């Protein structure tokens, strides 16, 4: 198969060797984070776990911060559509249910990545970019239900308490947490 004449030199082919290498490396990052947290994550450990030569890992990612940042970038690249239940409360509740599921699954790669972002400036920047993307994508749930409301304020009012309870307080049983804080967010819409 001939290379794409429109692609710039050195561009990765979707599904090609570069994509496979990235998938192997990011799978290794996730496994190491889940097994041992940030302290278990080294470029050498990722190379060994992924089966990708350490020179390739160092050349492409340089350090653990770049590995973590690429993990967030890969998560951001995954398709996600905000729910459309027919009501703001329903949409916010569904978003919160997705957050609860991500933070309470065992083991939780979401929780491990968030924890690691406190130890790496590159990962912290990538996490901010991830959330900015999610806020922009989810804004539609507020815009269609409450056109005058500030989407970011409503989304933070609905979602931030869920993260606070589950990621920071480590509440053992979320119970009705998704709907309870969705009501707070819906009230913030006015």
What pLDDT, in 10s, does the model give residues 146-189?
A: 999 999 999 999 999 999 999 989 887 778 999 999 999 999 99
Residue 171 is predicted with a pLDDT of 87
Are 135 and 155 contacting, i.e. CB atoms less than 8 angstroms apart? yes
Distance CA(179)–CA(90), nearest Å, equals 8
Overall average pLDDT of the 124-150 stretch: 96
**pLDDT mean across residues, the chain:** 91
Distance CA(66)–CA(188), nearest Å, equals 37
This prediction has a pTM of 0.84
Distance CA(84)–CA(105), nearest Å, equals 24
9 has pLDDT over 90: no
Helix axes 64-77, 17-36, angle to 10 degrees: 110
Distance CA(87)–CA(64), nearest Å, equals 42
What pLDDT, in 10s, does the model give residues 75-129?
A: 999 999 999 999 999 999 999 999 999 999 999 999 999 999 999 999 999 999 9
14 has pLDDT over 60: no
Overall average pLDDT of the 36-64 stretch: 96
């Amino acid at each position: 198969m001939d290379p794409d004449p429109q692609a710039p030199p050195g561009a990765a082919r979707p599904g090609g060797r570069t994509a496979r290498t990235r998938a192997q490396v990011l799978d290794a990052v996730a496994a190491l984070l889940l097994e041992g947290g940030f302290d278990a994550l080294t470029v050498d450990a990722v190379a060994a776990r992924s089966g990708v030569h350490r020179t390739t890992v160092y050349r492409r990612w340089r350090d653990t911060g770049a590995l973590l940042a690429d993990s967030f970038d890969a998560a951001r690249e995954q398709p996600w559509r905000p729910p459309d239940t027919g009501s703001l409360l329903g949409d916010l509740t569904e978003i919160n249910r997705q957050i609860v599921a991500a933070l309470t699954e065992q083991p939780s790669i979401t929780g491990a990545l968030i924890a690691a972002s406190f130890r790496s400036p590159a990962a912290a920047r990538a996490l901010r970019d991830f959330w900015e993307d999610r806020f922009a994508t989810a804004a539609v749930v507020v815009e269609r239900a409450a056109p005058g409301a500030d989407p970011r304020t409503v989304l933070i009012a609905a979602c931030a308490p869920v993260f606070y309870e589950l990621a920071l307080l480590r509440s053992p049983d979320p119970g009705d947490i998704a709907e309870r804080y969705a009501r707070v967010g819906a009230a913030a819409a006015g």
